[in-house]
Structure 1
Amino acid sequence: MKSLSLDGLSIQVENASADMWQTLHGLNIKSLNLCIRREVKHTESLSQALSSLTQLEMFSIEVKYCSPSLWDSLHGLNIKSLSLRMSLFVVKHKESLSQSLLSLAKMETLSIRVKEDSPDLWEALHGLSIKSLSLSIEWKRNLTESLSQSLLSFTQMDTLSISVKKDSPSLWGLCMV
């Protein structure tokens, strides 16, 4: 039996079942893009499927609702690039996201797109060893102290891209970091 080899796979669903995550198990793909319109369920199955993707270099996930178990499913992946697109980032998920991001030892590029910025999100990024960071924020409240502290902690970063809907003097202050 000949195995299927794809460079990338893109999946867009309302709800993902445990069976759907199992179909990903062991695929020989370099890139995976998931768009899940509702809450991500069956995260243990997702975690098992993701950890079985040994060739995976780039992972992109778009979710409306985040959960700590979703972030736990990212833990220890050998990816070089991670893209997170979130409608809502809930404060109680900061620790889980932070631990999972810090466990991505090979990650060089991080892209985050959120509808609303959150100091807790910026704190979750603190201490990452990434080379490139891209932030896109639809609605900003206060891009100051917590983001500034995270940016200062990125000792390996050589590329920073920030996109916001409205200009802000506090944003220009971040560029002086």
Structure 2
Amino acid sequence: MKKVSFDTKNGYLLLDGIMMAPLNESELIKIAKENNIEIEDNKTNTYVHNLSTCGSLNEFEFGINFTFENYCMKSVWLSWDEGNTKKYGYNTTENQLIADKNRLAKLLAKVLGKNPDEIKKTFSAFNFLWGNISASTSIQSAMTSIGISWNMHYFHTQ
């Protein structure tokens, strides 16, 4: 399983040290092929498109979903299917989901070397000049994940 890491200075998501985000769709596919990273293509008939793979961050394993709009990467979601969600599925309680979100926030604090800048019931955000990394949970879909989003104007001014 590929190791997930973050370059928080530049706003990059890396798999085994290889920059995977933010890239445009064709660059991501090219880099994945060159580095034997399996990518699943989830085509739709809309301008929104998803590519996915998997990776691990410390002892946590994630499904990684890259979301593109008009071939430009908009966000990355690392879905965590362990914890209470794995045990209870859609029967997971709100408190159990929040506990899972808190576990991911602690993981991120350790990995990023800082505490969250914003903490709410269903998400904890770590803010950077280029965007943010957050741990969140969705009560409706019984899912806990790490999300990465970028302030696109930041990259255009560099």
- TM-score, normalised by the number of residues in structure 1: 0.24
* Structure with the largest fraction of strand: 2
TM-score (norm 2): 0.25
Q: Which has the higher contact order (CA 8 A, sep 6+)?
A: 2
Work out which of the two has the higher radius of gyration on C-alpha atoms and give 1 or 2: 1
